Amino acid sequence: MQTSVQNAVLILEKLRPSTATLRAFGLLVVLLCVLFVASGQVSGHQILDNMRQAAPLGIITLGQALILMMGRLDLSVGATAGLANVVLAMTFAGNMDNMAYALSITLGCGALVGVANGLLVVALRIPAFLATLATSLVLTGTTLVVTGGSPRGSIPAEFRVITEGWFLGVLPYSVILWLAAIAGLTLLVHFTMPGRRMLLAGANSRAARLNGIAAGRMIVISFVFSSLAATIGGILLSAITGMASIGIADAYTVDSIAAAVIGGAVFGGGVFLAAGVSIGALILFFVQSLLYVVSLPPATRFIVQGGIIVLALALANIRRKSD
């Protein structure tokens, strides 16, 4: 009986929101209040609709957070999501009968990108940001060569229900998928042995090796998860747009890093806050909505967004030094 109580206490302790997550949630509430004042109306349905549109970035950010947990960066997530967009549209070719084939090929390509990134970092010992930057360039170039700059195909209307549809009219399907990803990765990292090994490898790879943990294998696995998350984000983005477009997800690379940092991720590794980084993604998305509501010129919007990203990274560095 006492052991069961202790286990329950440990589980509740792990599920308790961190200070960084609560801080991000507070910032989100303030942002929603500002958005309400600026637009004159913010309803629960509007918030859920924005979450539906933010789901691709949110899921991509979860994958980026895994890489940051390992003390590394993945600069290929935008290109990977863009590749998923192009491959999915081409293999679907507007025909719902091709769904199994299209999803298999798209997810398979994403997994291969993750394996390639992991091997470049572990086997060839190339710094992660350089390896993934190179991968991003290769993916972009390959996409341009294969498509000739004009991607073909389209997403069937029946498939687009994953981003356009609502479960029982209450919750968007894409938000349900996002919440499932948050829950699944939280359970994996904090409640399973492989996840704990990944955490230890990210916090201190030398200590992990001394404890018999194959740190290199954990790094490869984390890159596969990151690329699959980027691929799923690309699939959702495809369902929103209904078509393929070159460079459609390029901005998600920087945005995913900024969102993860806003949500409490640290560059030193060893920290994974799925809820926090997801809130960070929502903050970035609502900031973009706010900039649109106040009708700032496009150039000014880029400046403000860039300033927010720099501020987020600077605050993360300050928190790291104070710890």
**E-state strands within the chain:** 166-167, 171-172
Find the mean pLDDT for residues 147-158. 88
Q: What is the pLDDT of residue 208?
A: 81
Q: How far apart are the first and last CA of the chain?
A: 37
Q: What is the pLDDT of residue 182?
A: 96
pLDDT band of residue 317 (cuts 50, 70, 90) is: low
Q: What is the pLDDT of residue 320?
A: 57
* Conformation bin of residue 17: beta by default, left when phi > 0, alpha when psi is -120 to 50: beta
Token match 């560095």: residue? 317
Q: What is the pLDDT of residue 215?
A: 85
User: Would you identify the CATH topology of the domain 44-322?
Assistant: ABC transporter involved in vitamin B12 uptake, BtuC (1.10.3470)
Is residue 210 pLDDT above 70, yes or no? yes
Which of 39-48, 97-106, 205-214, 274-283 is predicted with the least confidence, judged by mean pLDDT? 39-48
Find the mean pLDDT for residues 154-175. 91
Is residue 133 pLDDT above 50, yes or no? yes
pLDDT band of residue 128 (cuts 50, 70, 90) is: very high
Amino acid at 19: T
Find the mean pLDDT for residues 172-181. 95
Q: What is the pLDDT of residue 45?
A: 81
Identify which of 141, 7, 42 has the alpha carbon closest to the alpha carbon of residue 86: 141
Locate the domains of the chain by residue range. Answer: 44-322
Find the mean pLDDT for residues 50-67. 95
Q: Can you tell me the distance from the alpha carbon of 131 to that of 124, in angstroms, rounded to the nearest whole number?
A: 9
pLDDT band of residue 204 (cuts 50, 70, 90) is: confident
Q: What is the pLDDT of residue 5?
A: 47
Q: In this predicted model, which residue has the larger pLDDT, 232 or 216?
A: 232
Written as six digits, the tokens of 186 are 């939280």
pLDDT band of residue 15 (cuts 50, 70, 90) is: low
pLDDT band of residue 299 (cuts 50, 70, 90) is: confident
Identify which of 143, 270, 274 has the alpha carbon closest to the alpha carbon of residue 207: 270
Q: Which DSSP category does 323 fall into?
A: -
Q: Which H or E element spans position 210?
A: helix 205-210
Q: What is the pLDDT of residue 151?
A: 87
